[in-house]
Amino acid sequence: MTAIELEGLTKDYGEVLANDGLTFSVDTGEVFGYLGPNGAGKTTTIRMLLGFISPTAGSGRVLGHDIRDERALIEAKRQIGYLSDEPGFDEQATGNEILELHAAVKGDERSDELLKLFDPPMDRQIREYSRGNVQKLGLVTTFMHDPELVILDEPTSGLDPLMKQRFAEFLRAEKQQGVTVFFSSHILSEVRRLCDRVGIIRSGKLVTVDPVETLLNRSGKAVRIQSDIPIPTSVLEIDGVHDLETSAPSDAPDIDPDSAFTECAFTYTGDINRLLGTLSEYELLDLSIEEAPLEDVFLRFYGDENDV
Ligand SMILES: Nc1ncnc2c1ncn2[C@@H]1O[C@H](COP(=O)(O)OP(=O)(O)OP(=O)(O)O)[C@@H](O)[C@H]1O
């Protein structure tokens, strides 16, 4: 079954075409990452899916309900959890009061369990909350009525690394229970850990929808190598090495960095074991292999912004 369906969904703000004919769907039980740089149009899509703003053109269905049908959407929202990118809780209220309000509106099946997990300071007023605490309370209110679909707009923003990890584990367990998750992010590594499929949006247009493995295979790694003894550059003439930059120490003018290097950086899209096998013959000072930045992924595989 399909949890979310978009057909040519468009939002034109006049000055900005924030969503331009978006067509894709999210299956029931799937964790779908909605990935794009700042201003790409992610929040606009989410706000249309929830009926907060109306589309200029196109249509959409959430849990089978038409997003332009206000009454149908109210019905659907009993089964939906939503976390805004800026949860706007009443500043004067305490965490407990916010929780009571949400419980009265949509029910409370599991706040005890969620409070243990995310632990926001419930006795304090929201105006005393840090950004991270607002986010933790937001997670509790999003999941407390045990929704079958959750729509999360940048859910980890403000969370510290430990809490991010806890949230990732929680989301995996929710998936095991059959919950459908649609979440936006501009962080590739976050999407990589959690999602089945990823939709990429840029400048309002859907660039691609791919299984997460496809995206990762295409995105590559940022590799940096340092060595005391010059390494022949020809060693890196293997499949998957791109944008190689090499340098030799400034106090060794006889070494041509085109033929040997003591430092280098490149993007690698090949088999990581092959690279490590090649490098194992050399004594390295340092080696770092990191996720390629999202902007590099866009540039490498989806062309310049003006091409879209
Ligand atoms: N109410 C509005 N009126 C006019 N333009 C808007 C409005 N809301 C958003 N925009 C513009 O629409 C574009 C998409 O914004 P949106 O907030 O959907 O992007 P986003 O991908 O969620 O960005 P971020 O990751 O920074 O939250 C941006 O250029 C933004 O400035």
Tell me the best of 9, 13, 202 to mutate to test the pocket of ligand 1, counting ligand atoms within 8 Å of each CB and taking the most: 13
Which segment of 77-81, 91-95, 108-112, 304-308 scores lowest on mean pLDDT?
Answer: 304-308
DSSP 239: T
HSE-up of residue 82 (Cα within 13 Å, Cβ side) = 22
> Taking 80 as the threshold, does the pLDDT of residue 44 lie above it?
yes
Output the domain CATH number for residue 23.
3.40.50.300
**Protein residue whose Cα sits closest to atom 14 of ligand 1:** 41
CATH number at residue 275: 3.30.70
**Ligand 1 atom nearest to 47, measured from its CA:** 18
Query: What 3-state DSSP class applies to 226?
Result: strand
138 C-beta closer than 6 A to ligand 1:
no
Please report whether residue 306 resides in a domain: no
Q: Which amino acid does the sequence have at 266?
A: F
Phi, psi for residue 205 in degrees, rounded to 5: -110, 145
Is 211 in the same domain as 252? no
In DSSP terms, 221 is beta-bridged to 268, 291
Dihedral angle at the C-alpha atoms of 123, 124, 130, 136, nearest 10 degrees?
A: 30
ipTM of the complex: 0.97
What would the two tokens of residue 17 be?
């075409």
**How many distinct structural domains can be found in the chain?**
2
User: What is the percent of the chain where pLDDT is above 90?
Assistant: 68
pLDDT at 291: 77
Domain boundary, last residue among 217, 246, 276:
217
pLDDT for residue 306 is more than 50: no
What's this model's pTM, rounded to 2 decimal places?
0.81
List, for residues 247-259, the tens digit of each pLDDT value.
887 776 777 767 8
Q: Are residues 98 and 48 in the same domain?
A: yes
Within-domain flag for 299: no
pLDDT at residue 187, as a whole number: 79
| Straight-line distance from the first to the last Cα atom of the chain, in angstroms, rounded to the nearest whole number | 31
- pLDDT tens for 16-41 read 999 999 999 999 999 999 998 889 99
Same domain for 88 and 9: yes
Residues 131 and 63 in one domain: yes
Q: Are residues 45 and 191 in the same domain?
A: yes
Please state, for a pLDDT cut of 70, what percent of the chain lies above it: 93
The CB of 36 under 6 Å from ligand 1? The reply is yes
